[in-house]
Amino acid sequence: MAQYLHIRVEDIDLLLPALQVHEVIGLEHTESQSDGHAIWRDEVIAAFDLGKILHRCSTSVARDYGVVYSPDDSDAPPVLMAIDEVLGLRNPLRDQLHKLPGAMTTAHSLFDAIWIDNKLGLKAYCVKAQLPADILG
């Protein structure tokens, strides 16, 4: 089974495919990603607030962490997603992954499934390995 990085932004838990995560970094509150880019390892990459992408906040919020993440399997540079918390690595079992509800919403373009671990009392949305280009601007 695939391994995921469990993160939180605002009130939503997400699972990112771990093989697409390059690095988790602490963000200085004096650094602002509101201009849409960041410097990572001497490279300029796109940066955005994941809370705004998920429509959880309307203005930029000072987030403590950033995840440098490849939103697809191309050779394109990664992006920096500002997040609130890193909760660790997860290895969901197949019977813990559930399809999204049938009504099509914007979430269907971002997520593959919902992970529910009744034993730990956790729930998170599994981010697709191939994010749509229009989501990231």
Residues 12, 9: Cα–Cα separation, whole Å:
6
- Residue 104 has a pLDDT of 66
- Please list the residues that pair with 81 across neighbouring strands: 48, 67
pLDDT of residue 31: 54
Task: Report the pLDDT value the prediction gives residue 56, as an integer from 0 to 100.
Answer: 83
**Model-level pTM?**
0.87
Model pLDDT, residue 28: 79
As averages over each run of 10 residues, the pLDDT of the chain (137 residues) reads 92 95 85 72 90 80 92 86 95 92 72 92 91 68
DSSP annotation of 101 reads P
User: Contact at 8 Å (CB) between 1 and 16?
Assistant: no
The secondary element (H helix, E strand) that includes residue 53 is helix 50-53
CB 38 within 8 A of CB 26: no
Cα three-residue angle 126-21-116, rounded to 5 degrees:
20
Q: Which two tokens stand for residue 80?
A: 């920096």
Q: How many residues does the chain have?
A: 137
